[in-house]
Amino acid sequence: MDVRTLCLGVLSFGETTGYGIRKAVGDWFGHFAQASLGAIYPALAKAVARGEVEVVGSADMALEKRTFRLTDKGRETLAASTAEASGDETVRSPFLSAMFFAHFLDMDDVNRVFDERLAGLRGEQRRLRSLPSGDMTEGQRFTIRYAMATTTAAIAFMEREGRAMVTAIERERT
Amino acid sequence: MDVRTLCLGVLSFGETTGYGIRKAVGDWFGHFAQASLGAIYPALAKAVARGEVEVVGSADMALEKRTFRLTDKGRETLAASTAEASGDETVRSPFLSAMFFAHFLDMDDVNRVFDERLAGLRGEQRRLRSLPSGDMTEGQRFTIRYAMATTTAAIAFMEREGRAMVTAIERERT
DNA sequence: GTGAACATGTAAATTGTTACATGATTAC
DNA sequence: GTAATCATGTAACAATTTACATGTTCAC
């Protein structure tokens, strides 16, 4: 899903600023989509030009706080883009890449990379748990629970098989 | 992990062609990294220029099958890149994006997107199961089992909570 | 008063995909 | 013979990140 659609999507829950969109993406979408400010502002400008988004109140003074609101046309675009959204899930994992080439790492690095990833997963789990699911739609809650299920499974897998894997790599090397 | 490192990584398991690298990436890395031919060939050319990779046998006739082999320097680069590999896992999921904005979809679309994703997950599970784990390193096996654990958890979650979610969305709408 | 968070925007650089262009080999 | 797969490489295009440049507001 591209940044423009993501912006429209965030605005469908209420008006906010470009900066606010980035925060929302980080907080609510972080586990399946991402967008940086350098992508959000141009996308927002384009959306305004297309009439999908409008600026609330004060017009166009540069470097001033601008609040954006979704228009009816934007709602249409969002509905269409959402229905068309397709394609497989893609994952990029520096951790799994490192593990794949673990035969080039010394055991300290293997352990470090492993521990870092486990800590990252636990942090993600905490973050997901702390999200205020009360004021969410069913669809939103579903994405959180889905992420929770996969994250929990990843943690369980690493706790269960991690140390065995490390010693197996060690053994393999001798 | 960038395409160049991925190429070096594949070549660390044995010499092959650019096309062969793409197949290997698709088969073994598909669940945590990806690379297209349009990225692989330039990356390979750069790696040859740096002396990280060498062409086996026949020199440089264009449009002829060229087999690449990792050099000692390439092995060094790969080891360094692998040890430095860091950063969080990033996921891009058109499916979860669609679910997040499910309030803009009609129920047919919700059901279709859901079924497509479940089918995709099952296909991925089959693919992972069919990989020949016999001739793999421990690190490689770990990445496969990790992917298996998360994929299985995703399938279980969807089977367990999917229909309830669909009806909840339906209820929410009335 | 000062550091963190809020806030906007542009531009360079990176990175990669898709499409184009070409042709060989293999299996049916 | 013909379709699929194998095979290489370039170039146009797309998308995004990072860095730069600037300034405000709020809490301590």
Nearest to B100 among A91, A140, A158 (CB): A140
Nucleotides on strand C with an atom closer than 7 A to protein CB?
Answer: 6-12, 15-19, 22-23
Find the closest chain B residue to A3 by CA distance: B97
Nearest CA-CA partner of B83 in A170, A93, A106? A106
Which pLDDT belongs to residue A133?
Answer: 79
Amino acid at A73: K
Report percent pLDDT > 70 for chain A: 96
Amino acid A63: pLDDT: 60
Give the residue from B78, B93, B150 with the most A CB atoms within 10 Å of its CB, the best one to mutate: B93
User: What average pLDDT score do residues A123-140 get?
Assistant: 89
CB-CB under 8 Å, A100 with B143: yes
Answer yes or no: are the C-beta atoms of B147 and B31 closer than 8 Å. Answer: yes
Q: What is the dihedral of CA B128, B133, B136, B137, to 10 degrees?
A: 90
Question: pLDDT band for position A62 (50/70/90)?
Answer: low
Q: What is the mean pLDDT of residues A4-32?
A: 93
- The Cα B51–Cα B3 span in angstroms is 16
Cα separations in angstroms, B82 against A7, A94, A97, B129, B156: 35, 9, 8, 26, 33
A94 CB contact with strand D at below 7 Å: no
Averaged over A44-69, what is the pLDDT? 82
CA distance A90 to A150: 14
Going residue by residue through chain B, which has 174 residues, state the pLDDT in tens, using 9 for 90 and above: 899 999 999 999 999 999 999 999 999 988 999 999 999 999 999 999 999 999 986 654 556 789 999 999 999 999 999 988 777 889 999 999 999 999 888 899 999 999 999 999 999 999 999 888 788 899 999 999 999 999 999 999 999 999 899 999 888 887
Nearest nucleotide, CA A21 to C1': C7
* Reported pTM: 0.91
